[in-house]
Amino acid sequence: MSGSFVEAFARHAADRPGAAALVWEDRPVGYGELYALACRARAQVEAAVPDDGRPVGLRVRKSPETVALVLGCLLAGRSFLLPSHELPDAPFGELVRQAGCSAVLSTQPGELVDVVVDPHTGPAAPAGHPGGGPGGLPLPRRTAGDAPGFLLTTSGSTGLPKIVPLPYGAVTRFSVWVGETFRVGPGTAVLNYAPLNFDISLLDVWSTLACGGTAVLVDPERATVPRHLREQIVRHRVRVVQGVPLLFRLLLETAAEQGPLEGPEHVVFAGDAMPGRLLDELPRLLPEARWYNNYGCTETNNSFLHEVDRTLPVTAPLPIGRPLPGVEWLITGGDGRALHGPGSGELLVSTPFQTAGYANAASGERFGPHPDGVAGRVYYRTGDLATREADGTVRLVGRRDFLVKVRGFQVSTQSVEDVLLEHPEVVEAAVVALPDPVAGHRLHARIRLTGPGAAGVLALRQHCAQRSARAAVPAVIETVREPLPRTSTGKVDRNRIREQLLAAGG
């Protein structure tokens, strides 16, 4: 891929204007059409916000018009803040302030929106703007590889989200890897299940467009409808499917009546660990596809990839696999130095796709040199605890954030969730630690069962006691009928559950 990922998209628009770039609600949007929409969005952005030295904020929901607005910013060489559209007004406004945004743009009017961009109207370029691009439209502005483009945000699990600027060069290098690894090219349909602010959309949408493929956008309003999800994959001949465990759990609901999905060639697990029982059931949905466990963070993008050997028993947790080309990594021991053999500790990574640091928070605690003083790379402290086994296999064992003390014993709430999910009647599980004046913390588990009365609390407690130390058995096991709350990226929202319990005096 010569030039940036934005220039690659423009070349596909010139060479194959009628080829589908997007599919939205079963309507294809051609590369030429999308490029024209993006150029109109670019013209409106440049006219309304002439200051190109500051980022713009985007308050948007997923749609072709939103994709065109993002591309319009990229064509203009503008950096842009892209938080979750579900973020409330107060934290969104604070992020806009901290990022130094010159204005907030949207394709729809709203309380905090300064400029409404309509890619379907207006000229494709201001008067006197040089053409030369597809259909005589403007070419993308040349941008330095280290200049920031996307300003994504972390999940905000510990407060206000951190702003993560990703340089153009980092996204371009990642797009090259996507095309080579998953054979994404002209005619390749890729399912985009995640929201556009989620970093895994860098593969689903932006790398797909850079490679000339077709991004099949899932409407967030129907993202939990199993039949709709399956129809999108079958109807549009999707070959690459990436998603959080929730996506595959929903698709499995269709397998009993409609059988396996035979179209996908590459299936990528991302965003959260795949539960063991879900892995056990997945062969009846995706018997022929190649399965991958993808590991990465917003700050570093993808770091590791593990292809599951389907000829061997598949057990959870899956290994995180091998580092991507150009990635360096290490695990620190108890003394903070790098381990050089089997052992456990915090995982540190350095990738060709990572940010240089946060835009609105101190970076020194998370970004730094090799702990042993080896010069040349900046490493990111992931906060993930990992184990390297004697054969070199690396597995995640939990988050530092999930480690709590219960009666003096260190417990991982994530591990307790994994134990609960091993029970055949448990569909979803969330375990949160609540303050306790005697024990330090007490564990509260909220679970959803396969049906009313499927398993009693006593049986669930015995299930945990047979597999865990006493301190890791939840003090309270609460069963609910409704699905557990989810974040905008599809993960179980443990923070919301914890806040609900604290507000109720739990």
Q: How do residues 30-79 score in pLDDT, each as one tens digit? A: 999 999 999 999 999 999 998 778 999 999 999 999 999 999 999 999 99
pLDDT of residue 443: 94
Q: 386 with 403: CB under 8 angstroms?
A: no
Residue 381: strand, helix, or coil: strand
Q: 387 with 344: CB under 8 angstroms?
A: yes
CATH 3.30.565.10 fits 5-223, yes or no: no
324-399 has which CATH code? 2.30.38.10
pLDDT of residue 127: 67
The per-residue DSSP string of 122-182 comes to: S-SS-TT---BSGGGPBPPPP--TTSEEEEEE---TTSSPPEEEEEHHHHHHHHHHHHHHH
Q: 50: Cβ–Cβ under 8 A, 6 or more apart, which residues?
A: none
**5-223 and 324-399 share one CATH topology?**
no
pLDDT of residue 403: 81
Q: 99 with 360: CB under 8 angstroms?
A: yes
Residue among 152, 175, 196 nearest 355 (CA): 152
pLDDT of residue 132: 81
Residue 206 DSSP class: I
- CA dist 68 and 71 (Å) reads 5
Distance set, CA 446 to CA 7, 141, 315 (Å): 48, 51, 24
- CA dist 328 and 324 (Å) reads 9
Residue among 410, 412, 345, 352 nearest 382 (CA): 345
In CATH, the architecture of 407-503 is 2-Layer Sandwich (3.30)
Residue among 117, 115, 74 nearest 96 (CA): 115
pLDDT of residue 150: 96
Query: Which pTM does this prediction carry?
Result: 0.86
- Helix and strand numbers (H, E) in the chain are 13, 25
Q: Is the peptide bond before 165 cis (omega within 30 degrees of 0)?
A: no
pLDDT of residue 86: 85
pLDDT of residue 1: 66
> Structural domain boundaries of the chain?
5-223, 324-399, 407-503
Residue numbers of the chain with a pLDDT score lower than 50: none
Tell me how many degrees the CA angle 168-174-177 measures, rounded to the nearest 5. Answer: 145
Q: 228: Cβ–Cβ under 8 A, 6 or more apart, which residues?
A: 222
Q: 253 with 229: CB under 8 angstroms?
A: no
- CA dist 350 and 323 (Å) reads 10
Two structure tokens written together for 291: 């399965």
